[in-house]
Amino acid sequence: MSYSISLTVNGDQRRVELDDPRVTLLDLLRERLDLTGTKKGCDRGQCGACTVLVDGRRVNSCLSLAVTLDGADITTIEGLADGDTLHPVQAAFIEHDGFQCGYCTPGQIMSAVGLISEGHAGEDPERVREGMSGNLCRCAAYHGITEAVIDATRRMAETSERKSA
């Protein structure tokens, strides 16, 4: 049996024919749509490396079956920057050295974008740490990650204030 789904991936409308319902969103992105920015660290929801936004919310793409996502809007790390202009979270990660090997980084960044839009952590370091705890980093760049998320939160708040003013 084959399943046909339509997805919006990083703004592009895509029709995907799935010959196999077992394909996770993560494997769909990586192995079939050539979007390898999203990483697999555990395939079991335990590390956060595969975090993407589905309809604006951060989820673990490894625990999400592609076939269930018909009609969904998906944002991956590849879709975050605006051309050559980095998203504030991406820029902050570079500035605060919020990564080393970079493998967990796409997941960290997508998780941070999700966290910021959820709006529960603000600039409180303890809340940011808690909110980012679903993303393991074996290089242990946590110090920089927390700083980066706080910094990006602040900058994004300033930008949206300026816009609304």
Partner 1 sequence: MSDRVSETVTMPMRFGSNSGQSVTRRDGIAKVTGRATYAADNHPDGMLYAVYVPATIARGRVTHLDTAAAKAHPGVVEVFTPKNRPPVVGDPDKKPFMFAIPIEVLQDDTVRYAMQPIALVIGETLEAATEGARLLKPQYEVEPARTGFDAEPAKRAAAGPFGRPAEVVHGDTEAGLSQAKQTLDVTYDTPAQYHNAMEPHAIVAKWDGDKLEIDTPNQAIVLSRGFYAFYFGIPADNILIRSPYLGGGFGSKAVPYSPLVLAIAAARKLDRPVKLVLTRAQMFGPVGHRGATRQRLRIGIDGEAQMTALDHVSTAIVDSFDSSFPEPAANASQGLYNASSLHSLMMVVHNDIGVPGAMRAPGEASGSAALECAIDEMAEKAGMDPLEFRLKNYADVEPGTGKPYSSKALRECYAEGAKRFGWAGRPLAPRQMVDDKGFLTGWGMGTALFGAPMFAAQARAVLRPDGTGLVETAAADMGQGAWTALAQIAADSLGLPLDKVEFRSGSSDLPDGGVAGGSGHTATAGGALHAAGTDAIRRLGELAAADPQSPLFGTGNQGFVARDGRLYAARDESRSEAYADIIARAGGQEIEGKGSAARPPEDAARHAMYSHGAVFAEVKIDPVLFQMRVTRLVGAFAAGRIINPKLAESQLMGGMIWGISFALHEEARFDKRTGRIMNTDLAGYHIPVNADVQGLEVITVHEDDPYVNPLGIKGVGEIGVTGTVGAIGNAIWHATGRRIRHFPIRIEDLLA
Partner 2 sequence: MKRFDYVRPLSVADALAAYTPGAAYLGGGTNLLDLMKIGVMQPDTLIDLGRIAELDAIEMLPGGGARIGALVKNSDLAHDRAFAAAFPMVAEAILAGASGQLRNAATIGGNLMQKTRCTYFQDPHSPCNRREPGSGCAAREGDNANLAVLGWSDACIATNPSDMCVPLAALGAIVEVQGPGGRRDIQIASFHFLPGDQPENETALQPGELVIAIRLPAEAAAFAKNARYLKVRERTSFAFALVSVAAALQIEGGRITAARLALGAVAAKPWRVTAAEELLAGQSPTQEVFARAADALLEGAKPSGENGYKIELARRAVVRALQMSAAGTPKRMPALPASSFAEEASHV
Ligand X SMILES: Cc1cc2nc3c(=O)[nH]c(=O)nc-3n(C[C@H](O)[C@H](O)[C@H](O)COP(=O)(O)OP(=O)(O)OC[C@H]3O[C@@H](n4cnc5c(N)ncnc54)[C@H](O)[C@@H]3O)c2cc1C
Regarding 90 and contact with ligand FES (CB under 6 A), the answer is no
The smaller minimum CB distance to ligand X, of residues 45 and 125, is found at 45
Strand partners, 6: 15
Q: Report the C-alpha gap between 40 and 12 in whole angstroms.
A: 23
Hunting for tokens 């993303």 — which residue is that? 135
CA angle 35, 73, 69 (to 5 degrees): 85
Select from 99, 115, 128, 132 the one that contacts ligand FES (CB under 6 A). 99
Q: Which of 135, 133, 165, 129 is nearest to 149 (CA)?
A: 129
Regarding 109 and contact with partner 1 (CB under 8 A), the answer is yes
Regarding 6 and contact with partner 2 (CB under 8 A), the answer is no
Q: Report the C-alpha gap between 74 and 114 in whole angstroms.
A: 12
Instruction: Indicate the SS3 state at residue 137.
Output: coil
List the x/- string, 52-71, binding to ligand X by CB under 6 A.
Answer: --------------------
Site for partner 2 in 23-52 (CB under 8 A): 24, 43-45, 48, 51
The smaller minimum CB distance to ligand FES, of residues 41 and 79, is found at 41
Regarding 160 and contact with ligand X (CB under 6 A), the answer is no
List the x/- string, 22-61, binding to ligand FES by CB under 6 A.
Answer: ------------------xxxx-xxxxxx---------x-
Pair type for strands 51-54 and 12-18? unpaired
List the x/- string, 69-108, binding to partner 2 by CB under 8 A.
Answer: -x--------------------------------------
Q: Report the C-alpha gap between 64 and 149 in whole angstroms.
A: 26
Select from 25, 49, 69, 116 the one that contacts partner 1 (CB under 8 A). 49
Structure tokens at 28: 């769909």
Q: Which of 96, 128, 101, 100 is nearest to 115 (CA)?
A: 128
Query: For binding to ligand FES (CB under 6 A), which residues are involved?
Result: 40-43, 45-50, 60, 62, 99-105, 137-139, 141
